[in-house]
Structure 1
Amino acid sequence: MTMSFDHITLGQRVLFGVGQARKHVAGEVARRGAGRVMVIASPREHELAEGVCAQISVRVWFDDVVQHVPVGKAEAARAVAGEHGVDLIVSVGGGSTVGLAKAVALTTGIPIVAVPTTYAGSEATNVWGMTENRTKTTGVDDRVLPATVVYDATLTTSLPVDLSVASGLNSLAHCVDSLWAPRADPINQALALEGARALARALPGIVADPDDLQAREQALYGCYLAAVAFASAGSGLHHKICHVLGGTFDLPHAETHAIVLRYVLALNAPAVPELAGRLATALGSAMGSEHTAADALNRLYEALDAPRRLADYGLTERLIPEAVARVLEVAPPSNPIPVTRANLTTLLSDARTGVTPTAGLHIVR
């Protein structure tokens, strides 16, 4: 079969090394000749960020970090950056932190050095997102792509096991969504499958020993591949659902992605058996098929004691009709299974209660 596709690889420097974050951040600040650095880090990450930035001169610290990046918070951060003439942003933290840095870069063009402490993956994409009036808006702009990413597994050891699991499964969702997202192609599918393989092996290691730096390093490696694939492939149904749940109902980002993932895979796998089979193999199944992909993912969730029910995070039954209506407005027409009010209602209802999904479940119900 011949191949025809249009693939874009984003230009970004990646610095990887255990215990080297402080050195790498100082080197990037010096290499760029930056003299007015703004560090964005949440209060919870402030002590960690001080250590990472110990060898640089910081002009201003900003810590008003909120998930889903409310527009008001973005405007406040932009005002601080303008007031201090900031010429470089260093973000130290998870997806909300780099998301706020991106919101500043979107209107100012100030470059970002991102230092992740979770497996969110936002640091490797040119996708921004902000929330206003209960609606999360996302977009693509190369100005928000961090110029440099500094990965250091030691910085993730402060992340509790349950959050490590949720964050890692959020990253795995990038892999799965990238297999059939609107701009999916063979290159980002290959990256996504390798990312899924790395994450499926790393996360049980983190659960077994939270201080296992090799497992946490593998998780960062998988997280980066997942994000690069996602940046190329675009936002598929999974992410459209989660953006609605987060932006409209303020459900927590990582846990929501972790829960929804299994149901989107169960919906789509029967329509793309070859891809689902390759995913099953990446997840450790001895036999690759659309059915074993769902089974392999369910087994992984059992091993990780992963979050299962959206009800545990605030989604009530009465909210489902509004969620369905909002997702239908943005669902990609290219989704392998046509998205309908019926199958989306079933998907969200099952994700709310934690029914174990199997391939094809939402097609026949």
Structure 2
Amino acid sequence: MLSGKHILLIIGGGIAAYKSLELIRRLQDKGARVTPVLTRAGEEFVTPLSVSALAGTAVHRDLFDLTAEAEMGHIQLSRSADLLVVAPATADLMAKMAQGHANDLASTLLLATDTPILLAPAMNVRMWQHPATRRNLAQLMGDGVQVVGPDEGGMACGEFGPGRLAEPDEIVRAIAAYFDAGPLAGKRIVVTSGPTHEPIDPVRYIANRSSGAQGTAVARALRALGAEVVFVTGPATVPPPEGVEVVPVETAREMAAAVDAALPADAAVFAAAVADWRVTSAGDRKLKKSKDGLPTLDFAENPDILKGVAQRQTGRPALVVGFAAETNDVIEHATAKRLRKGCDWIVANDVSPATGIMGGQENSVTVISDSGAEAWPRMAKEAVAEKLARKIADALAAPKPVT
């Protein structure tokens, strides 16, 4: 898969640096040659000896290494590889890259190179969510830098959330996708899928009949065309696709937060069937029958995730695609929804019980945009996903505006 490819691996500081050792081994297993660069902060977590032993070559550490300058030079080092990978990419390294700093070997290599760059960020959740980091990430993505991860989970600091370094296998897949470049290579796309569950009490919840099959198929099709996919999924009945970043959620509010954390992105596809309402005060104990009659439930409106992203003033994806599951007057309702939400396309379908579409294996959709309504014949959900993914690839490759 990566036979003969030369990867320049820059190892930043942070506890996640230990995963870089496994990453080197995985890349070599795929046939790649790895040249390691270790930052001073990275040396606090992994030793030059261990990195060098695994890579089977000298590890580069100093900007002013006279021997290295005589034999290769940092300029040549930055351009001799097929791909530069930064793992872990710390908030500090990302800030240096975004602002064009070059005060050590790693930042100088990253500024001097004309080789594509792939970042695997890793940092504390608050650092990842800080507006400065979000601005730097948006700048880097605008400059053409590709990004894989970060994942969500527990951290060494004791906090939980997005910021964990992507696992070595996930980084290897992203590297392989770069070399197997499809029409969406280098594009980051957020896909939502599945239902949301809004708790009433610890055992009951409000939901819908969505299986997550269509959203899963869309994510898989986009990944097959080379996109980096962030897959935000509610509790679906179908397994998530492989090769994508999976972010599991339960409620609409959790999904909204996960989508916001996944931005910026080149496109966003909202295939999830999000519950419109939630119970304002979900019980912490199971509600019991009472002689006083039925319990009273107070409802509140859930966040409108599609509208929130489509109408963003900054950081809006170039293409925002919504789904409209309707049971009557499908085209009229979906057309009005597209205008109301402010998205570029609406994928409308009839999910009335007689169609068997909700939770089924097939779909029949109409894609509504500024150009009008494009009706597709009924086909397998996988085929719908592949056709939609191709349409998205064509739109992102076309001059703006997307229509």
Q: Could you tell me the TM-score, scaled by structure 1's length?
A: 0.31
- Comparing both structures, which one devotes a greater share of its residues to helix? 1
For the pair shown, the structure with the greater C-alpha radius of gyration is 2
Q: Could you tell me the TM-score, scaled by structure 2's length?
A: 0.29
- Comparing both structures, which one devotes a greater share of its residues to strand? 2
Structure of greater relative contact order (alpha carbons < 8 Å, 6+ residues apart): 1
